[in-house]
A and B are shown apart, each in its own frame.
Chain A
Amino acid sequence: MNYVEHIGKYFIMLKQVFRKPQKWSVFRETLFREIEDLGLKSLGIIAFISFFVGGVVAIQTALNVDSPLIPKHLIGFATKRSMILEFAPTFMCVILAGKVGSYITSSIGTMRVTEQIDALEVMGINSLNYLVLPKIIAAVFFYPLLVLMAMFLGIYGGYLAGVLTDLFHSEDYIYGIQLEFNPFFIQYALIKTFVFAFVIATIPAYHGYFVKGGSLEVGRASTQAVVWTSIVIILLNYFLTQMLLS
């Protein structure tokens, strides 16, 4: 199957996904389960990674800014900008593509090969709507919160890393993170996250839903899903940055 065919099939799938749920009470229940599986269970890893990434960015900047002409508050400024613009939305979403993407593909793929999706269809349930829509809603509304948390923890991680190792003074860092604050950057980061969350929920779902074969194929589909989700995130990151910032 060529790429154009896959893209076409993906959009046809989305058409089926965006239908009215069969029963709102069941949808609500599924949505809360997905928020837990896709969002809350990723809190720990996102907090851990963002905290240390922020620390590393601050240390790297501090070590590379050795000219006395460059003010020290630039460290805080650079950490803030890189966390808000790139590390929190893009890097964290690539991490989520790996963690959540493989989970989505393998869970839906296993349902496919064990005929659980057929069982839904036989009952007269729109399986794509039932399985994928709650995942999209959960990701799209929860991941911006995760990214906001990642921004905060990354900047805080940078602060602690520098202050604890005496690479810079806390006043410089705090002045740096307050300098030239542009609220649109937060908006830009959240728009990106919103789009990436949609991609993280749908591309792996596509790979899982249309898998054929057995457990080996489910494993392959999971790998493919993570690869394609990451590629699409990186490409969209480029285009969104062009559109929103230039």
Chain B
Amino acid sequence: MIEVYNLHKEFDGVPVLKGITTTFEKGKTNMIIGQSGSGKTVFLKCLLGLQVPEKGIISFDGRKHTELDIKSHRQLRQEIGMVFQGGALYDSLTVEENIMFPLQMFTENSKEEMLERVNVVLNRVNLENANKKFPAELSGGMQKRVAIARAIVMNPKYLFCDEPNSGLDPNTAIVIDNLIQEITKEYNIITVINSHDMNSVMEIGEKIIFLKDGVKAWEGTNKEIFETENEAIVKFVYSSNLFKKVRDAYLKKTK
């Protein structure tokens, strides 16, 4: 479990995160949602250790992020897989080399063993015959799949995704969402997704944390989101008429 307690982060004296306390559970797709500027990217970066919080505790299965020495910190980072918004694939490396990169850095496996593992994860993300292609030759959806494959190649305990389906068409977005959820269940890992795509939230959000102006304004599941009376989240989620209608229909049906 990832536990966050009283997390504060500020930039040039301007507070961005104001005392966030929450937990992210194993085997679940945990989602951080909120408007642009609500602090969700900063929150994710704090979890990843890319930003250092001013105050607060982040604990990965009892290991406090801020109290680890360099060696333990490196070890922890090797247990983390990350899917960046734009994929963040290395342009000069082929798909195969991109995925093999963490294996080359952190394992003593032979090249054959590494290639075998690369093919396993590429199969897992349903991407075959792309081994020798460069990222620039792939579509957005394929790049995301490669990014997911690279994130899971080291068998991580924690998977973080920053807006994994941004810039994708609705069909591909659903495929990517489902893939992340399947991987979460299959590998029994803690997945944290940063998103403002309401389709994803409703589809795979097993635990949702809603941030507003750097504060946790609501926490619940994708089922509870239909029933909540919390004004902030209702305003955010049901800003579109379609979602309003879906909610009304759901409430009518359950009453």
B window 193-236: CB within 8 A of A:
none
Asked if B48 contacts A124 (CB within 8 A), the reply is: no
Interface size range of chain B in the complex: 20 to 34
Count how many chain A residues have C-beta atoms less than 8 Å from C-beta atoms of the other chain.
16
Q: Which of B13-21, B23-31, B80-88 contacts A (4 or more CB under 8 A)?
A: B80-88
Flag whether A2 is at the interface (Cβ < 8 A): no
Residues 31-52 (chain B) with a chain A CB within 8 angstroms? 48-50
In Å, the complex CA distance between A62 and B73 comes to: 66
Task: Assess whether A118 is in contact with B105, with CB atoms less than 8 Å apart.
Answer: no
Residues of chain A within 8 A of B49, CB atoms compared: 121-122
A215 at the binding interface (Cβ < 8 Å): no
Q: B63 an interface residue at 8 Å Cβ cutoff?
A: no
Contact mask for chain A residues 189-200; partner B; CB cutoff 8 A; 1 contact, 0 none: 000000000000
User: CB distance A124 to B104 under 8 Å?
Assistant: no
Given known pairs A25-B104, A26-B105, A125-B105, the reply for A115 and B74 (CB within 8 Å) is: no
* Cα–Cα distance between A23 and B49 once the two chains are bound (Å): 22
B88 and A124 within 8 A (CB): no
Chain A residues with CB under 8 A of B90: 111, 116
In chain A, residues 153-210, which have Cβ atoms closer than 8 Å to a Cβ of chain B? none
| Min C-beta distance of A110 to chain B, whole Å | 8
Contact B104 A123, beta carbon cutoff 8 Å: no
Which chain B residues lie closer than 8 Å to A115 at the CB level? Answer: 84-86, 88
Partner of B50, one of A111, A114, A122, A125: A122
B-binding residues in A (CB < 8 A)? 22-23, 25-26, 110-111, 114-116, 118-119, 121-125
Task: Name the 4 nearest CB pairs between A and B, nearest first.
Answer: A124-B77, A115-B88, A119-B88, A124-B74
User: Could you list some 21 contacts between A and B, CB below 8 A?
Assistant: A23-B104, A23-B105, A26-B104, A26-B105, A110-B91, A114-B88, A115-B85, A116-B90, A116-B91, A118-B50, A118-B82, A119-B84, A119-B88, A122-B77, A123-B77, A123-B78, A123-B82, A123-B102, A124-B73, A124-B106, A125-B105
